[in-house]
Amino acid sequence: MTLTGSSKEMEEQARMLSDSELAELAWMNDSPQALKARGEIARRTTESGKIMLLWAKIAAWAGIIAAMLALVAIGVTVMMAL
């Protein structure tokens, strides 16, 4: 569970490691391997954040559509009562 080779090779190896393996490497010291592991953790965190933001946007749009449909339903109910 060590990262060896060139910078590019270490990045590729880091992408294949699990989160726990990366965490173990990342906080050992300030070696290039630890820095690459920290970089991979940051990349995964950013990726997760983008996915969560996408789902938040979808949920917001679903809420807006639901509110509009509720207003239409209320309007139809009021018009039927008249």
In this structure, the dihedral spanned by the alpha carbons of residues 11, 13, 18 and 20, taken in order and rounded to 10 degrees, is -70
Q: What is the pLDDT of residue 1?
A: 65
For 17, 25, 26, 30, 70, the CA distances from 22, given in Å and listed in that order, are 6, 5, 6, 14, 48
> What does pTM read for this prediction?
0.67
How confident is the model over 10-29, as pLDDT tens digits? 999 999 999 999 999 998 88
